Amino acid sequence: MKFDWLAKYWPLLIDGAFQTVALLVISVSLGFLLAIGLAFAQVSGGCVLRSLARWFSTVFRGTPLLIQLWLLYYGIGSLLPMVPGLRQSFLWPLLREGFFFAAVSFTLNYAAYEAEVLRGALLSVPKGELEAGRALGMSRLTVVRRIWLPRAIRIALPTIAGEVVLQLKATPLAFTVTVMDLYAVAYKIRQDTLLVYEPLLVVTLFYVALTALITRAFGVVEAQVPIRR
Amino acid sequence: MTANPMTVWQLLALEPPGWGGALLSGAASTVAISASAFAIGLLIGLGGAIAKLAGNRPLVLTLNLYTAIIRAVPELILIVGLYYAGTDGLNRLLAAFGLPAVEVNGFVAAVAVLGFVQGAYMTEVLRGAILAIPVGQIEAARAFGMSPLLRFRRVTLPALLPNALPGLSNLWMSVTKDSALVAVVGYQELALTTRLAGANTKQYFLFFLAAAILYLAITLVSNLVVHWLERRLRRSQPVVA
């Protein structure tokens, strides 16, 4: 076991860690917003909206994330230059990056899983509480904003913590589309120094530490709003 | 799409100029990898769960470490790490016995690595399922003087299966999708075949869409099987309204 390469590569590792965390934060926060919409579409949407949301969840949960990522990056990515005017637009530098495609596909994938979790949570909010809100004269939107959604999120919180950790563990896939995330840095170190296990070990420690941090953070949030049994 | 003279159906044809046959055999090897890894995981998980519940202290600590580490580390890192560590370790072991090094078959390596990862999750699922069996049932079997093996076959196993089925079916779904990660270490299953097809014909979109549909088909068929199994395994349980 040799670790003298750490002295040379630590700035790269820090950069990689930032990319990993950025992918995680972007996909979880945007994915969560999307999931709220999808969950409500399934619980109280009309017939069209409901089946659309259900299909979205089935398709994104039924295919590997790697295929979704490659479909976006290689598939859509190779079609994009054919769109007239796009190459000249201000969006092009963004659309050229693997990071963009990774962020989009991770967001969609996370939203699909999270929507199922939220759907279950929305359905398990006691009906009486919603009726009480309506009886107090709240509009449907106010009931959603003040009672239904907060209660559902609280119910789903432990599962959400699990989903976030799973999402963290999915981020290394980004390296297959040229994103220099933490895993890609480990890969580069392996190619430069021919050390296989040491870089993987260091990177693994980071992932485990981040997992512990996420679990702790959610523990703190859960403790803020204790559930009465 | 106009640059290429071949039509969509020619590209997806089963015969060699088309890639349909290659994709289907890739899908078959994805199913084969997943099923073998699932079976190995089931064996590891059953052993792990029984050992954890039997409560030999050093053994339980080792198993806890195994399940904790496997479940905390990203699958891609596990697969790459175990792939190299596994083949390297095996060859060192062979060298220690004075045997020549072997080239590990990609299929075997993929199955072993995925099975080892599945085993950790299975251990937890099956442990929970065994714990959920009413103790009285097992005690009754013991009171009848059944040997441990007979007790397991006649009482524990049929009672734990309905409890474990949701967890097991989740794991099956996740192994069919995790098997795509094997593409990264170079074994040619559905995901890698698709990438090759795309690279050769420059029709990435078409082929990845086809692969996504194949994976989705695998998932949907599995769903049907799971529903059928669940009905069958729960036939002895009271219906909950």
Please list, in sequence order, all residues whose beta carbon lies within 8 angstroms of the beta carbon of residue B204, skipping any fewer than 6 positions away.
A70, A71, A74, A75, A77, A78, B198
User: CA of A159, closest CA in chain B: separation in Å?
Assistant: 15
User: Are the CB atoms for A64 and B189 separated by under 8 Å?
Assistant: no
pLDDT averaged over every residue in chain B: 84
**pLDDT over 80 (residue B239):** no
Range of the domain at A127: 6-224
Under the banding of pLDDT at 50, 70 and 90, the label for residue B1 is very low
For chain A, how many structural domains are there in total?
1
Please list, in sequence order, all residues whose beta carbon lies within 8 angstroms of the beta carbon of residue A74, skipping any fewer than 6 positions away.
B195, B198, B204, B205, B208
pLDDT tens by residue, B199-220: 888 778 888 888 899 999 999 9
Give the angle subtended at the CA of B186 by the CAs of B184 and B189, to the nearest 5°: 90
User: CA of A213, closest CA in chain B: separation in Å?
Assistant: 12
B198 and A74: CB-CB below 8 Å?
yes
B205 and A74: CB-CB below 8 Å?
yes
| Interface subset of B 118-177, CB within 8 angstroms of A | 173, 176-177
Query: Which domains are assigned to chain B?
Result: 8-236 (1.10.3720.10)
For B84, the closest of A62, A64, A196 (CB atoms) is A196
**pLDDT over 70 (residue A198):** yes
- Please tell me which residue of chain A has the smallest CA distance to B199: A74
A1 inside domain: no
- Please tell me which residue of chain B has the smallest CA distance to A183: B77
* Rounded average pLDDT over B137-158: 90
- Please tell me which residue of chain A has the smallest CA distance to B178: A64
Interface test with A, best of B70, B208, B220, B222 (most A CBs within 10 A): B208
What is the model's pLDDT at position A135? 95
DSSP string covering B34-68, please?
HHHHHHHHHHHHHHHHHHHHHT-HHHHHHHHHHHH
A120 inside domain: yes
Interface test with A, best of B216, B218, B226 (most A CBs within 10 A): B216
Contacts of B208 in chain A (CB under 8 A): 67, 70-71, 74-75
* Rounded average pLDDT over A7-14: 87
For B216, the closest of A59, A66, A168 (CB atoms) is A59
For B205, the closest of A76, A183, A204 (CB atoms) is A76
Across the A:B interface, residue pairs with CB atoms under 8 Å apart total: 102
Under the banding of pLDDT at 50, 70 and 90, the label for residue B20 is confident
Whether the CB of B74 is below 8 Å from some CB of chain A: the reply is yes
Burial of A148 (0-12, 13-18, 19+ CB in 10 A): buried
A71 and B205: CB-CB below 8 Å?
yes
Looking up tokens 């003040």, which residue turns up? A146
Burial of A27 (0-12, 13-18, 19+ CB in 10 A): buried
Alpha-carbon span A206 to A188, nearest angstrom: 17
pLDDT tens by residue, A108-128: 999 999 999 999 999 988 899
What is the model's pLDDT at position A94? 75
Interface test with B, best of A56, A60, A61, A67 (most B CBs within 10 A): A67
Whether the CB of B205 is below 8 Å from some CB of chain A: the reply is yes
**pLDDT over 80 (residue B94):** yes
What is the model's pLDDT at position A41? 93
What is the model's pLDDT at position B180? 87
Under the banding of pLDDT at 50, 70 and 90, the label for residue B85 is confident
Under the banding of pLDDT at 50, 70 and 90, the label for residue B188 is confident
A169 and B74: CB-CB below 8 Å?
yes
* Rounded average pLDDT over B151-178: 88
A229 inside domain: no
What is the model's pLDDT at position B2? 47
**Lowest mean pLDDT: which of A38-42, A187-191, B24-28, B106-110?**
B106-110
B212 and A68: CB-CB below 8 Å?
yes
Tokens at B194, concatenated: 């698709």
- Please tell me which residue of chain B has the smallest CA distance to A198: B81
A71 inside domain: yes
Whether the CB of B234 is below 8 Å from some CB of chain A: the reply is no
